[in-house]
A and B are shown apart, each in its own frame.
Chain A
Amino acid sequence: MKRKWLWSTLFAGLMVMLGMSLSSEPVHAAQKTYTIGTDVTFAPFEFADKNNKYVGIDIDLMNAVAKTEGFKVDIKPLGFNAAVQALEAGQIDGVIAGMSITPERQQKFFMSSPYYQSGVVMAVAKGSKIQSLSGLRGKKVAVKTGTASADYANSVKKKYGFTVVTFDDSNNVYDNVKTNNAQACFEDKPVMQYAIATSYKGSLELAKNFKMASANNYGIAVKSSEASTLGKKINAGIKKLKANGQYDKIVAKYLGDGSEKSQAKKTAGMQETDRSFIGLLKSNWGTLMSGLGETLWLTVVGIVFATVIGVLIGLLGVVPNKFAQGLSTTFIYIFRGLPMMVLALFIYSGVPTLIGAKIPAFIAGVITLTLNEGAYTAAFVKGGISAVDNGQMEAARSLGLPWGKSMRRVILPQGVKIMIPSFVNQFIITLKDTSILSVLGLLELTQTGKIIIARNMEGFKIWAMVALIYLIIITLLTWLSNWVQKKVNA
Chain B
Amino acid sequence: MTTRVEMKDVNKSYGDNHVIKGVDLKVEDNEVVVLIGPSGAGKSTVLRMMNGLETTTSGEIYVDGQDIAHAGKNIDKIRENIGMVFQHFNLFPNMSVLDNVTLAPIELGKKSKTEAQAEARTFLEVVGLTDKADAMPASLSGGQKQRVAIARALAMHPDIMLFDEPTSALDPEMVGDVLGVMRRLAKQGMTMVIVTHEMGFAKEVADRVVFFGDGKILEAGTPTEIFDHPQHPRLQTFLKQVLEA
Contacts and interface: CB of A to CB of B under 8 A. Distances in A.
A391 B88 contact: yes
Interface string A393-427: 01111111110010001100110010000000000
Interface string A364-403: 0000000000000000000000000101101111111110
Interface string B135-167: 000000000000001001100100000000000
A162 B90 CA distance: 73
Contacts of A394: 53, 84, 86, 90
A153 to B, nearest CB: 65
A437 to B, nearest CB: 38
Contact of A401 (B76, B93, B94): B76
B192 interface: no
A409 B103 contact: yes
A396 B93 CA distance: 12
B107 interface: yes
A235 B76 CA distance: 76
B51 interface: yes
Contact of A414 (B76, B88, B94, B153): B94
Contacts of B94: 410, 413-414, 417
Contacts of B82: 398
B90 A400 contact: no
A391 B80 contact: no
Contact of B79 (A389, A399, A409, A413): A399
Contacts of B152: 399
B186 interface: no
B236 to A, nearest CB: 35
Contact of A400 (B79, B86, B88, B93): B79
Given A409-B103, A409-B107, A398 B84 contact: yes
A395 B53 CA distance: 10
B32 to A, nearest CB: 19
Interface in B68-99: 73, 76-77, 79-84, 86, 88, 90-94
A110 to B, nearest CB: 64
B79 to A, nearest CB: 4
Nearest to A398: B84
B108 interface: yes
B104 interface: yes
B145 to A, nearest CB: 12
B51 A405 contact: no
Contacts of A399: 79-80, 84, 103-104, 152-153, 156
Given A400-B79, A401-B107, A391 B93 contact: no
A347 B233 CA distance: 74
A396 to B, nearest CB: 8
Contacts of B91: 395
Contacts of A405: 107
B81 to A, nearest CB: 8
A391 to B, nearest CB: 4
A301 to B, nearest CB: 31
A398 to B, nearest CB: 4
Nearest to B104: A399
A395 B103 contact: no
A10 B79 CA distance: 35
Contact of B90 (A389, A401, A417): A389
A400 B53 contact: no
B80 A400 contact: yes
A401 B79 CA distance: 9
A392 B156 contact: no
A398 B79 contact: yes
A478 B22 CA distance: 60
B92 A401 contact: no
Contacts of A402: 73, 76
Contacts of A392: 90, 92
Contacts of B104: 399-401
B53 A398 contact: yes
Q: Which residue, B76, B88, B149, has most C-beta atoms of chain A within 10 A?
A: B76
Interface string B104-119: 1001100000000000
Given A392-B90, A394-B90, A405-B107, A400 B76 contact: yes
Contacts of B92: 392, 395-396, 410, 414
Given A395-B91, A398-B51, A401-B103, 12 more contacts: A392-B90, A397-B76, A398-B84, A399-B104, A399-B152, A400-B77, A400-B104, A400-B108, A400-B156, A401-B108, A405-B107, A414-B93
Interface of A: 389, 391-392, 394-402, 405, 409-410, 413-414, 417
Which 7 pairs show the lowest CB-CB distances between chains A and B?
A: A400-B80, A395-B90, A398-B84, A399-B104, A391-B90, A400-B79, A413-B94
23 contacts: A391-B86, A391-B88, A392-B90, A392-B92, A394-B90, A395-B91, A395-B92, A395-B149, A398-B53, A398-B83, A399-B80, A399-B84, A399-B104, A400-B81, A400-B108, A401-B103, A401-B104, A401-B108, A409-B103, A409-B107, A410-B103, A413-B94, A414-B93
